[in-house]
C-alpha cells in the first residue's frame, strides 16, 4: 500500500499508527530506501530544537536547508513543499511528539498536503499513540481528515509468523513462546539473543532492569490519561475477573462507570469482548472480557502481582512459582488461538467463519460450555470443538463422545444440516482426524 502510494504521480499523504515495537519504523525504512526521502524521528524537545533537527535532515535533499533559522513550523514546511525535488517523501516518525509541543502543526500540514500534488511530493506521518494518530486523520473535525490516501494500522503478527522467526522451535515450543511474547516483532528480536526461553523471560521481563519489565505502563501512557484505572482493569482481567460485575465489585465502582474505560481498552485492542456464538453483538448481556495480547496476559498474571518480590528477591524465586502454573497460561492462549485459527482452516472440506465460545443453558436446562463453535461459510454446517493442550488417544475419544452429547443439547444445533466435531490438542503428536494440532494452526495463520 505504501509503495503504491509513493508511486503516485500526483503526490500522496499517508498515516501509519499502532502500538509500539510492532515494526512501523522498520516498515518505513524498508519502503523509503528505494526512494528519495527524508526520514525524521521526532522527540519531546522544545519546538525550536525540533525544527533545527528536522532542517538538518531535510538538508540531505535540499542543500543548505539547515543554514536558516526557522521562526515557526509554517516557514519550514512551506519551504520544504516549495523546494523539495519532485517525488520526494518526507516521513515524520513519532509525529505525536511534534504535535504535543506545537498543536498548530496539523493545520499547517493541511495547507501543505493540499498543494503537494502539483509537485508530486509525499508525506507520511507515523506514531505509537493510537489515540492521537486516529484523532489526526479519522476525526471529522481534524484538519487532516479525509486527506490520507492510505491509513495503515500496524498490529502484532499472527501466531503463524513466530515459527518463521524461530525455525528451530517445535510447534509446542512456538506455542509457549507466543504465550509469553505474543506477536510483537521487537519482543521476538530481543528474545532471540538468549539461549533459552527461561533466560529470555528472566532477563527481559522479570528482572527489574529488563527492557520489557515496565512495558505495559509505557503502552498505556502512549494512549491513556488515566493509567491507574486502565492498569487496574487489565490486572483484574489478567488475574481471572472476566465479567463486568466482577471487575466493578473488585474496584468498588458501579458497573456503569466502567463502560467508557472498557470501551477505550477495546478500541486500543488491549482487551477483547467475548459473547456466546449466535448472540447479538450489540444487545447481548452475556459478555466476558479477556486480555487480547499474550504478552500483556503473561505480565499481568505473573509480573504485576509479584513486583515487590522481584524487587527484593532473586528472579529465580518468582520463576519457580511461574513454572508451577505456566501450563495453565499456555492452555488459555492455545484456546484463544484455536478460535482465531478457525477462519483460516479448511476442515471437513469446508471453510468456516469466526470461531467463538458458547455458554449458556442446554436444552436440558443445565449450564453448558463449548470451547469453539463456528458456522461454515455457506451457512449449512456447524463446527463444534473442544480445546485441550495435552490429550492422549483415549482422552480424545472421550472428548469426542462428550461433544456429541453437548451437540444434542445445543439450542442452535437443529438449524444446521451437518455438525462437524474437532479436538484442538498440542500434546502428544496425534495427527489423526479430527484432531487439529499447533503445526496446522501455524501454517494456516500466516
pLDDT tens string 276-321:
999 998 878 899 999 999 999 999 999 999 999 999 999 999 999 9
**Grid cell digits, residue 283:** 444487545
Largest CA distance in the chain: 81
CB 416 within 8 A of CB 397: no
The full DSSP string for 312-354 is: HS-HHHHHHHHHHHHHHHHHHHHHHHHHHHGGG-EETTEEB--
Neighbours of 283 (CB within 10 A): 7
Distance CA 33, CA 383 (A): 47
**Grid cell digits, residue 142:** 481534524
Strands (E), 226-275: 271-274
- DSSP class of residue 267 equals H
pLDDT tens string 79-128:
999 999 999 999 999 999 999 999 999 999 999 999 998 889 999 999 99
Burial class (CB in 10 A: 0-12, 13-18, 19+), 31: buried
Q: What is the pLDDT of residue 431?
A: 66
Distance CA 342, CA 225 (A): 36
Distance CA 213, CA 9 (A): 46
Which residue do the cell numbers 522481584 mark? 310
Closest CA to 391 of 422, 421, 428: 428
**Which residues have C-beta within 8 Å of that of residue 331, sequence separation ≥ 6?**
387, 388, 389
CA atoms in the 13 A half-sphere facing the CB of 90: 29
Closest CA to 88 of 67, 126, 119, 114: 119
Q: What is the pLDDT of residue 284?
A: 81
**Grid cell digits, residue 207:** 528482572
**Which residues have C-beta within 8 Å of that of residue 216, sequence separation ≥ 6?**
231, 234, 296, 299, 300, 304
Which residue do the cell numbers 456503569 mark? 256
Q: How far is CA 440 from CA 183, 342, 431, in A?
A: 18, 11, 10
**Which residues have C-beta within 8 Å of that of residue 98, sequence separation ≥ 6?**
42, 50, 92, 105
In the chain the domains, ranked by start, together with CATH numbers, are 2-153 (3.40.50.300), 161-328 (1.10.10), 341-444 (3.40.1350)
Question: C-alpha angle with apex 269: 202 to 176, nearest 5 degrees?
Answer: 35
Closest CA to 44 of 269, 221, 185, 190: 221
**pLDDT tens digits, the chain, 446 residues: what are they?**
898 999 888 899 999 999 999 999 999 999 998 789 999 999 999 999 999 999 999 999 999 999 999 999 999 999 999 999 999 999 999 999 999 999 999 999 999 999 998 889 999 999 999 989 989 998 999 999 999 999 999 999 999 999 999 999 999 999 999 999 999 999 999 999 999 999 999 999 999 999 999 999 999 999 998 999 999 999 999 999 999 999 999 999 999 999 999 999 999 999 999 999 999 988 788 999 999 999 999 999 999 999 999 999 999 999 999 999 999 999 999 999 999 999 999 999 999 999 999 999 999 999 999 999 999 999 999 999 999 999 988 999 999 999 999 999 999 999 999 999 999 999 876 667 798 999 999 999 98
Which residue do the cell numbers 488461538 mark? 337
Which residue do the cell numbers 477462519 mark? 343
What distance lies between CA 220 and its chain's CA centroid?
A: 13
Query: Residue 121 phi/psi, 5° resolution?
Result: -90, 160
Question: C-alpha angle with apex 333: 331 to 335, nearest 5 degrees?
Answer: 70
Distance CA 13, CA 121 (A): 9
**Grid cell digits, residue 376:** 461454515
Distance CA 139, CA 72 (A): 26
Amino acid at each position: 500500500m505504501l509503495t503504491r502510494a509513493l508511486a503516485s504521480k500526483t503526490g500522496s499523504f499517508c498515516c501509519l499508527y499502532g502500538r509500539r515495537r510492532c515494526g512501523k519504523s522498520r516498515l518505513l525504512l524498508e519502503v523509503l530506501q528505494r526512494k528519495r526521502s527524508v526520514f525524521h524521528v521526532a522527540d519531546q524537545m522544545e519546538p525550536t530544537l525540533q525544527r533545527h533537527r528536522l532542517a538538518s535532515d531535510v538538508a540531505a535533499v535540499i542543500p543548505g536547508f539547515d543554514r536558516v533559522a526557522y521562526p515557526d513550523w509554517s516557514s519550514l514546511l512551506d519551504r520544504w513543499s516549495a523546494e523539495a525535488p519532485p517525488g520526494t517523501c518526507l516521513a515524520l516518525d513519532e509525529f505525536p511528539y511534534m504535535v504535543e509541543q506545537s498543536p498548530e502543526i496539523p493545520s499547517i500540514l493541511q495547507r501543505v498536503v493540499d498543494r503537494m500534488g502539483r509537485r508530486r511530493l509525499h508525506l507520511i506521518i507515523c506514531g505509537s499513540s493510537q489515540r492521537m494518530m486516529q484523532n489526526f486523520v479519522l476525526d471529522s473535525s481534524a484538519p487532516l481528515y479525509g486527506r490520507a490516501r492510505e491509513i495503515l494500522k500496524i498490529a502484532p503478527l499472527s501466531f503463524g509468523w513466530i515459527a518463521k522467526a524461530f525455525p528451530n522451535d517445535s510447534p509446542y515450543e512456538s506455542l509457549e513462546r507466543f504465550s509469553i511474547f505474543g506477536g510483537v516483532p521487537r519482543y521476538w528480536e530481543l528474545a532471540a539473543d538468549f539461549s533459552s526461553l527461561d533466560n529470555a523471560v528472566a532477563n527481559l521481563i522479570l528482572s527489574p532492569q529488563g527492557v520489557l519489565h515496565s512495558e505495559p505502563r509505557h503502552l498505556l501512557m502512549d494512549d491513556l490519561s488515566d493509567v491507574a484505572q486502565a492498569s487496574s482493569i487489565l490486572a483484574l482481567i489478567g488475574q481471572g475477573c472476566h465479567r463486568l460485575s466482577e471487575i466493578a465489585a473488585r474496584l468498588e465502582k458501579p458497573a456503569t462507570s466502567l463502560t467508557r474505560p472498557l470501551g477505550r481498552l477495546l478500541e486500543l485492542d488491549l482487551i477483547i469482548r467475548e459473547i456466546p456464538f449466535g448472540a447479538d453483538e450489540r444487545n447481548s448481556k452475556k459478555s466476558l472480557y479477556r486480555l487480547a495480547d499474550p504478552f500483556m496476559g503473561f505480565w499481568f498474571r505473573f509480573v504485576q502481582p509479584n513486583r515487590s518480590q522481584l524487587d527484593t528477591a532473586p528472579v529465580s524465586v518468582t520463576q519457580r512459582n511461574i513454572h508451577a502454573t505456566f501450563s495453565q497460561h499456555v492452555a488459555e492462549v492455545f484456546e484463544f488461538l484455536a478460535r482465531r485459527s478457525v477462519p483460516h482452516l479448511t476442515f471437513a472440506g469446508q471453510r468456516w467463519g469466526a470461531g467463538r465460545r458458547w455458554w449458556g443453558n442446554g436444552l436440558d436446562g443445565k449450564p453448558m460450555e463449548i470451547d469453539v463453535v463456528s458456522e461454515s461459510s455457506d451457512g449449512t454446517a456447524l463446527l463444534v470443538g473442544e480445546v485441550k493442550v495435552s490429550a492422549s488417544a483415549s482422552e480424545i475419544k472421550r472428548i469426542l463422545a462428550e461433544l456429541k452429547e453437548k451437540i444434542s443439547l445445543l439450542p442452535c444445533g437443529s438449524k444446521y444440516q451437518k455438525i462437524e466435531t474437532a479436538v484442538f490438542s498440542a500434546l502428544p503428536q496425534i495427527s489423526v482426524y479430527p484432531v487439529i494440532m499447533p503445526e496446522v494452526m501455524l501454517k494456516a495463520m500466516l
